[in-house]
Amino acid sequence: MDALLRSYLDLARHLDPLQHPDEAPADVAARLGRFDVPWLTAQLAALRSIANAIEDLEDLASRDDEVDRTMLLDTVRGDIARLHALIEGESADPVLPLRHAVAALDALLGEDFDAGRAAALAARLGELPEMLSLVREELRPAPAFLVAAASLALAELDERLDLAAERLEDTTVVTAAREALDAHSSWLLDGNRVGGEMGLGEEAVLARLALLNNEPLGLKGTLRTLELRRAGAERALLTAAADLGYPEDWPAALEALPELSPLDPFERLDGWLDEWERAGSVYITLGLAVPDAEPGPAPAVEDRATLAVWAMRARARAMFEAARAQQERPVRRLLVAPGVRRGWSRAVVALLRHTTLLDAPEHLLAAAWLALLDAVAAETDL
């Protein structure tokens, strides 16, 4: 099992160096992913071989081993379905490589920038021209909305190059990367690029549904659970809005949140730190183990209530990550099933309904709104 896990992690980190960062080799931070179809096809074949080997495992010693095999197999199958959709879809996705590049640079441009991160940043920038060149070998058209989104992602990537130029002593790689962005922009804006159908395509959807069918509740049960979650969030929105003087009109209450719970833009960062500490102290009173951790970047919100709810969720995620890191079994320590982090955050925030963190209707409104967004997103995915 451990050997198959190592094989999978090595392959997955070549596909996306940002995936499964825990206990990753140091050189992973110096790499970018690749998105050219021939290379992805080869990786898909390798993933299928790993999945077959996992399925063939016999004589598992314990129920824990069976659970670990299921976790690993479902993770590999999820990657297989994702790659298959990228490769076999009738339309291309020009946004994905650019979003990946932005995230890869963001991971190295934080406040903890040092010599090691500078070297990794230069290495990733050095790989960017070739990555984009291989993407431009794509012959499939892309829907107009994806082309427009890719143009926005290019602008974001250009901003990251400006930041990189400020951090690196030798900006040769930045200059080469900027030239690559110019070439990519010209290719992207070619009128012949636009076309194709929106969405995954029927085959990819069926493959994902087949994966979901492995869940204990099945498709209909999962959908019903999501419908109930959405209905609960909507009821909570109506209740909080009514308490704030907006009966039957929660959208108006949301629009009024910046006035009901004001947040000075110049105090947002300090407010984020305050809410982070406040959330941690309340979790401690509930008897939960709260690790020492940095809060991460402050979300771009306009009211204090929403900032507080994001801090509650961020604290919950930090608690989850700390608990996961203490797992002795490698599969459970290194792999996280899709949705588990959000599910954990929702569960922990639900414990706060009768605490000082959620004692005001504006906080309940913000929490219900974020819960509704999660529920609708999950239901739409299904």
Q: Which residues contact 15 (CB under 8 A, 6 or more apart)?
A: 33, 34, 40, 43, 79, 83
Which tens digit of pLDDT belongs to each residue from 215-241? 545 567 777 777 888 888 899 899 999
Q: What does the DSSP assignment read for 170-201?
A: --HHHHHHHHHHHHHHHHHT-GGGB-S-SSS-
Over range 323-340, report the average pLDDT. 80
Q: What are the distances in angstroms from CA 56 to CA 4, 72, 203, 268?
A: 11, 13, 26, 53
Query: Both tokens of residue 359?
Result: 């004692």
Domain regions of the chain by residue span: 2-205, 217-381
Residue 338's pLDDT band, with cuts at 50, 70 and 90, is low
The Cα–Cα gap between 341 and 347 comes to: 10
Query: Both tokens of residue 108?
Result: 């190295």
Residue 135 has pLDDT above 80, yes or no: yes
Q: Is 296 left (phi over 0), alpha (psi -120 to 50) or beta?
A: left
Query: Both tokens of residue 225?
Result: 């659970």
Q: What does the DSSP assignment read for 238-306?
A: HHHHHHTT-TT-HHHHHHHHHHHSB--GGGHHHHHHHHHHHHHHHHHHTT---------SPP--SBHHH
| 308 half-sphere exposure, CB direction, 13 A CA radius | 24
In this structure, are residues 312 and 352 in contact, taking their beta carbons and an 8 Å threshold? yes
The Cα–Cα gap between 133 and 230 comes to: 43
Which tens digit of pLDDT belongs to each residue from 10-45? 999 999 998 888 888 989 989 999 999 999 999 999
What is the torsion angle, in degrees rounded to the nearest 10, for the CA atoms of residue 341, residue 347, residue 350 and residue 352? -70
Q: What is the pLDDT of residue 225?
A: 76
The Cα–Cα gap between 304 and 267 comes to: 10
pTM above 0.75, yes or no: no
Over range 355-378, report the average pLDDT. 84
Count Cβ atoms below 10 Å from residue 27 Cβ, excluding itself: 11
DSSP 14: H
pLDDT, the chain, mean? 86
Q: What is the pLDDT of residue 44?
A: 95
Closest CA to 253 of 268, 263, 265, 238: 238
Distance from the Cα of residue 341 to its chain's centroid: 10
The Cα–Cα gap between 212 and 190 comes to: 38
Please report, rounded to a whole number, the percentage of residues in the chain having pLDDT higher than 90. Answer: 45
Residue 78's pLDDT band, with cuts at 50, 70 and 90, is confident
Residue 1's pLDDT band, with cuts at 50, 70 and 90, is confident
The Cα–Cα gap between 367 and 361 comes to: 10
Q: What is the pLDDT of residue 197?
A: 57
